[in-house]
Structure 1
């Protein structure tokens, strides 16, 4: 059984993923934004870490809390915000910082969106004024960069589809169960397809991401910019 950390687990896809993995007997660490949100996960038989991923210091604290709980086998970077708020910070910068600071797991899963294809393949959006599409292009690029730099780790990006969660809205057309199935599968399955790395997945099917996400030069530029922004260096990245 795996030890899995899931960001943004108070509701939506993160909570659904936690419920399924706990039901399968896995050990799960869930994450909530603040102490008021802790009550949303009290019914889960899981460890809880607390911190606002829009805040740099609190993001570092989340990494410290996870590390104190012992090595995790899998990190699912599920937390995200849309259509307003600190999208770049939560959707892209926080996953980078957590990737760098949490003791290296065996598998990493980053939630992205099909909207990443509308993102700009430059770094202007890191100023904090980028769009949702920009933020999701960055996190997709991060997932593929980690796959290249850390070959011993299975790192993949997942588009869960437009599903009826609080963020997606009640009218979202995609299947909620399929929205979290792929990340559970990539996190814990021994299916040979789930034991691959560097993929962009939609409903357990590998697809082609934005071309920039797979370019080593853009990956290196993004990692260097994130290191400058956060003061945290991803081991293996070029200085």
Structure 2
């Protein structure tokens, strides 16, 4: 059985992912943004090994979360599930001055990827909206543009899929993939008549994290319901990926290692 970390696992797709993994006998480490939130859902997180706590909008919290994750032991897979939607009517800044949606959806998974000992498998939960992201990468912080919550969300998901593909290229011994869970009726959708099936939204992540079927261990793909999708073509371009990484490195002060360290 595998040991798996799932970020953003106290409700919605993340909670469903945890339940499915525990039900299959895997060792699961959950994540909550605060001690209060962890206590609220402990009754729902039956069978998990532990719950790590960290506010993904805070650079210091994310770094501490990575340190705690490493101290807990090595993971076979990490599912970067946590995220927020296009729900902020104005630009909300974090303590570091980053746009809130950028910090949670893109910078946090970047920091965790850079600092946690690489597992065998990485899964990044992104969105079809990534195809509408600003490919110029010229204003990640939304300092020079009029705030547009939907565009900011799309931009963050474009960075996330670029990260997934960059890891697949740089770390050939790691299976790194991005998935689209569909437009499902979670809190993130805010009652926007989401049309996809919530009961299926976690299936691809669980499959990628645990299956040894040949299709499940391939790397560098974008999938929906266990089937490959066409991502924005530019997201596969190494030059674009490196520009995306450089932007996130500049904002976090951290660098993504060029290659996975030797070992398992």
Task: Provide the rounded CA distance (Å) in 1 between the counterparts of 2:175 and 2:51.
Answer: 24
Alignment of 1:48-63 (within 5 A): 48-63=51-66
Using the TM superposition, give the Cα deviation of residue 124 of structure 1 relative to its aligned residue in structure 2, in angstroms: 2.6
Match of 1:152 among 173, 177, 192: 173
Using the TM superposition, give the Cα deviation of residue 186 of structure 1 relative to its aligned residue in structure 2, in angstroms: 0.5
* Shift in alpha-carbon separation, 1:88–1:2, aligned structure 2, 3 A: same
Using the TM superposition, give the Cα deviation of residue 215 of structure 1 relative to its aligned residue in structure 2, in angstroms: 0.5
Using the TM superposition, give the Cα deviation of residue 42 of structure 1 relative to its aligned residue in structure 2, in angstroms: 1.1
Residue 93 (structure 2) pairs with residue 72 (structure 1): no
**Corresponding residue for 2:244?**
222
Match of 2:184 among 151, 163, 183: 163
Q: How many equivalent pairs are there?
A: 237
**Structure 2: stretches of 5+ with no match in the other structure:** 93-99, 144-150, 260-264
SS in 1 for 2:189: coil
**Corresponding residue for 1:189?**
211
> Whose Rg is larger?
2
Output one character per residue of 1:17-56: Cα deviation in whole Å (capped at 9) or x when no partner: 0000001100001110111101233122221111110110
Task: Provide the rounded CA distance (Å) in 2 between the counterparts of 1:64 and 1:143.
Answer: 21
Task: Provide the rounded CA distance (Å) in 1 between the counterparts of 2:230 and 2:203.
Answer: 19
Task: Provide the rounded CA distance (Å) in 2 between the counterparts of 1:206 and 1:111.
Answer: 14
**Corresponding residue for 2:138?**
124
Task: Provide the rounded CA distance (Å) in 1 between the counterparts of 2:139 and 2:27.
Answer: 36
Using the TM superposition, give the Cα deviation of residue 63 of structure 1 relative to its aligned residue in structure 2, in angstroms: 0.5
Using the TM superposition, give the Cα deviation of residue 128 of structure 1 relative to its aligned residue in structure 2, in angstroms: 4.9
Task: Provide the rounded CA distance (Å) in 2 between the counterparts of 1:34 and 1:128.
Answer: 27
SS in 2 for 1:49: strand
Is this contact kept in 2: 1:199–1:206, CA < 8 A? yes
Q: TM-score of the superposition, structure 2-length normalised?
A: 0.87
**Corresponding residue for 2:7?**
7
4+ aligned runs moved over 6 Å, structure 1: none
**Structure 1: stretches of 5+ with no match in the other structure:** none
Q: TM-score of the superposition, structure 1-length normalised?
A: 0.96
**Corresponding residue for 2:27?**
27
Using the TM superposition, give the Cα deviation of residue 225 of structure 1 relative to its aligned residue in structure 2, in angstroms: 1.8
More helix by share: 1
Match of 2:128 among 114, 122, 125: 114
Residue 58 (structure 2) pairs with residue 37 (structure 1): no
Output one character per residue of 1:152-189: Cα deviation in whole Å (capped at 9) or x when no partner: 00000000000111112443110112211001100101
SS in 2 for 1:5: strand
Is this contact kept in 2: 1:112–1:159, CA < 8 A? yes
* Shift in alpha-carbon separation, 1:96–1:176, aligned structure 2, 3 A: same
